[in-house]
């Protein structure tokens, strides 16, 4: 059914409701018989209007590429975007395979009214490809039902207005009435079976919007910076230049279930960061995120020479401190290496000196970033190494070295030290404190130092039952943050990251001159860090959304 057909259908409804005799201003001289006949027709017409117009009519369109809803001056048409999601946790933002559909319901009624009844509704197959079959939809007073015997490859839209997930072939019924829809006029239908749940799509600023509760959506648009285009990336993270043969790992976008997040507008980010410092503090995973941010922002700058490493311009590079300056915006994006956040030290014992970790003291790098405008902290991966996880004669507080201390207890003590320092030294009116959560690893058959592998992973995890539980270290962080007086923005990226077993450098950390070198690399793979472009770009997209949502300082709307 083409666009004209859909439009004619809508116009025919208008002609039924407002027939020409009632709209005409012309007067005619008629006979008595004609008057009698006219009165009878008038009575029948009024009776018809009474039965057909009181319940609001709803017209449903199966929305494809380029589809449109006909509008008229005589009625106010508004729509909800419906999507139906099954057990499959992934969807496509372009064309999905075999099981994707988008449904829009438009109704000439006021916002405070609700959908009560629909009659004679058929879906139009506008803008669909040759493999598409159109379906019939019915929305009743207590039911919204999708009936389809064959629905294949429906085009999907992933923009600010309509975000569509996926649907299976079959029958779905929702037994709820849509009402009080005053948030962006969107609604979502989600389902893991034939029992459909209708949910509203909230704005980013709504308290019900959890940007970390969502799914990865297939997205064939270009990444924020092209593969191999950013010379600032550590070679260890530049999987494309190191010969990774596939590129699907950059074709996924994170989509929250109940709301939408904006794409990271690099120019807007730099304008808001003008005259300020953004500092990433933590381990090499935060370096991963920092390099991603620098590359995203640099891509928007026309004159790339105006973006440079500060250490290359008359300034001494401090140990473990790296900074890129964006000259046109008088701002910098820095990385401070502090893998534990607390201080690595030595202790002089009876049998000589040995390394310890001071759980009661912050790392000495705090003087570098305490006055930054945005600080993104992280720690976690170094707490899994043998020395820290074993916890024997390693953890120190004051002059006491614990003969044995569980790693989770030590981690909790370190976080308490960090929280105490933040509350004492950070000006919350100036500085936004962020803590990025734990990034899950995907070693198979061993750990990072015992032959663990991920080099054959080319797709994300699809089955949510294969995801790890919420990290115990992050539960400890939750308990620490809730007691702080300084507001902390927690980036809960653990679950969304856990899906992405396909995004690690694995063996693609360098170019290999021989097959023997490549074979040897399989014994020492990197399944902790991330290829760039890749998953850390999404972290920065979520950081951007979180800063906009906070509305503090230069991040006010």
Residues 64 and 102 sit within 8 Å (Cβ to Cβ): yes
For the cut 80, the answer to whether the pLDDT of residue 468 exceeds it is: yes
pLDDT tens-digit readout, 340-352: 999 999 998 888 8
Q: Please, are residues 295 and 263 in contact by the beta-carbon 8 Å criterion?
A: no
Question: Could you write out the DSSP letters of every residue in 522-552?
Answer: TTS-B-SS--SSSHHHHHHHHHHHHHHHHT-
Look at residue 55 and tell me whether its pLDDT is greater than 90: no
Residue 444 has pLDDT above 90, yes or no: no
pLDDT band at residue 172 using 50, 70 and 90 as cut-offs: very low
Residues annotated as catalytic are 284, 526, 529
The answer to whether the peptide bond before residue 533 is cis (omega within 30 degrees of 0) is: yes
The model carries a pTM of 0.67
> What gap in Å lies between CA 536 and CA 436, rounded to an integer?
11
Q: Is 81 exposed, middle or buried (0-12, 13-18, 19+ CB in 10 A)?
A: buried
Q: Cα separation of 270 and 273, whole Å?
A: 5
Q: Give 286's contacts (C-beta < 8 A, 6+ positions apart).
A: 280, 335, 376, 377, 378, 436
User: If we measure between CA atoms, which residue out of 93, 143, 100, 94 comes closest to residue 118?
Assistant: 143
pLDDT in tens, 378-413: 999 999 877 787 888 999 999 999 999 999 999 999
If you average pLDDT over residues 87-95, what whole number do you get? Answer: 46
- What is d(CA 496, CA 201) in angstroms, rounded to the nearest whole number? 19
DSSP state of 201: P
Reply yes or no on whether the pLDDT at 491 is more than 60: yes
pLDDT above 70 coverage of the chain, percent: 61
pLDDT, residue 54, reads: 43
Q: How many CB atoms lie within 10 A of CB 427?
A: 9
Averaged pLDDT of the chain: 74
Q: What is the pLDDT of residues 119-145, one digit of tens each?
A: 333 333 333 343 333 333 333 343 443
Band of residue 445 on the pLDDT scale cut at 50, 70, 90:
confident
The more confident residue out of 170 and 291 is: 291
pLDDT of residue 510: 87
Query: Max CA-CA distance within the chain?
Result: 124
Residue 347 CA, chain-centre distance (Å), reads 45
Residue of 537 and 512 predicted with greater confidence: 537
| E strands present in 378-471 | 395-397, 400-401, 432-436
Report the relative pairing of strands 144-147 and 171-174 from DSSP bridges.
Answer: antiparallel
Q: What is the mean pLDDT of residues 87-106?
A: 42
Looking at residue 103, its pLDDT comes to 40
Torsion angle of the four alpha carbons 59, 62, 65, 67, in this order, in degrees rounded to the nearest 10: -10
**Once rounded to an integer, what is the mean pLDDT over residues 285-296?**
98
Q: Determine the average pLDDT of the residues in 71-84.
A: 35
Q: Specify the pLDDT at position 147.
A: 38
Q: Residue 35: its pLDDT value, please?
A: 52
Nearest alpha-carbon partner for 145 in 173, 123, 115, 176: 173
């Amino acid at each position: 059914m083409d666009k004209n057909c859909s439009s004619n259908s809508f116009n025919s409804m208008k002609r039924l409701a407002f027939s020409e005799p009632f709209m005409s201003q012309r007067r005619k001289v008629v006979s008595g018989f004609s008057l009698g006949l006219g009165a009878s027709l008038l009575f029948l017409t009024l009776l018809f209007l009474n039965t057909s117009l009181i319940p609001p009519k709803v017209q449903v369109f199966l929305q494809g590429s380029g589809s449109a809803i006909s509008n008229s001056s005589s009625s106010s048409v508004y729509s909800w975007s419906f999507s139906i999601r099954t057990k499959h946790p992934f969807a496509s933002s372009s064309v999905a395979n075999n099981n994707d559909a988008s449904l829009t319901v438009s109704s000439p009624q006021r916002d405070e009214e609700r959908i009560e009844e629909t009659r004679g509704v058929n879906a139009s197959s506008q803008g669909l490809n040759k493999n598409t079959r159109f379906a019939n939809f019915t929305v009743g007073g207590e039911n919204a039902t999708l009936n389809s015997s064959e629905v294949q490859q429906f085009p999907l839209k992933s923009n600010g207005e309509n975000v569509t997930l996926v649907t299976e072939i079959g029958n779905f019924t929702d037994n709820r009435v849509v009402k009080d829809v005053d948030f962006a006029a969107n609604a979502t239908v989600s389902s893991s079976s034939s029992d459909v749940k209708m949910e509203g799509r909230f704005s980013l600023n709504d308290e019900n919007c959890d940007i970390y509760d969502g799914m990865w959506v297939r997205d064939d648009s270009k990444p924020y910076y092209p593969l191999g285009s950013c010379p600032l990336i550590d070679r260890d993270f530049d999987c494309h230049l190191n010969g990774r043969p596939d590129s699907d790992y950059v074709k996924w976008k994170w989509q929250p279930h109940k709301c939408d997040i904006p794409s990271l507008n690099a120019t807007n980010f730099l304008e808001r960061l003008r005259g300020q410092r953004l500092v990433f503090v933590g381990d090499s995973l935060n370096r991963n995120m920092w390099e991603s941010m620098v590359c995203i922002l640099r891509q928007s700058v026309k004159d790339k020479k105006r973006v440079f490493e500060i250490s290359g311009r008359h300034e001494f590079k401090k140990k473990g401190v790296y900074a890129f300056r964006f000259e046109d915006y008088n701002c910098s994006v820095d990385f401070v290496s502090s893998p534990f956040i607390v201080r690595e030290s030595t202790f002089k014992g009876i049998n000589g000196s040995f390394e310890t970790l001071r759980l009661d003291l912050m790392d000495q790098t705090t003087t570098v970033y305490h006055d930054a405008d945005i600080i993104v902290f992280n720690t976690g991966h170094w707490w899994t190494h043998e020395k820290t996880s074993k916890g024997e004669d390693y953890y120190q507080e004051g002059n006491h070295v614990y003969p044995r201390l569980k790693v989770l207890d030590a981690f909790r003590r370190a976080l308490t030290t960090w929280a105490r320092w933040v509350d004492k030294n950070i000006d919350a009116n100036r500085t936004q404190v962020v803590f990025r959560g734990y990034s899950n690893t995907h070693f198979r058959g061993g750990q990072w130092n015992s032959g663990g592998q991920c080099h054959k992973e080319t797709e994300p995890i699809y089955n949510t039952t294969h995801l790890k539980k919420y990290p115990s270290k992050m539960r400890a962080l939750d308990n620490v943050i809730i007691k702080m007086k300084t507001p902390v923005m927690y980036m809960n990226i653990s679950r969304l990251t856990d899906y992405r077993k396909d995004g690690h450098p694995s063996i693609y950390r360098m170019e290999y001159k021989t097959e023997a070198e490549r074979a040897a690399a399989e014994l020492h793979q990197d399944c902790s860090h991330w290829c760039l472009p890749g998953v850390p770009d999404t972290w920065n997209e979520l950081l951007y959304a979180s800063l906009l949502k906070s509305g503090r300082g230069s991040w006010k709307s």
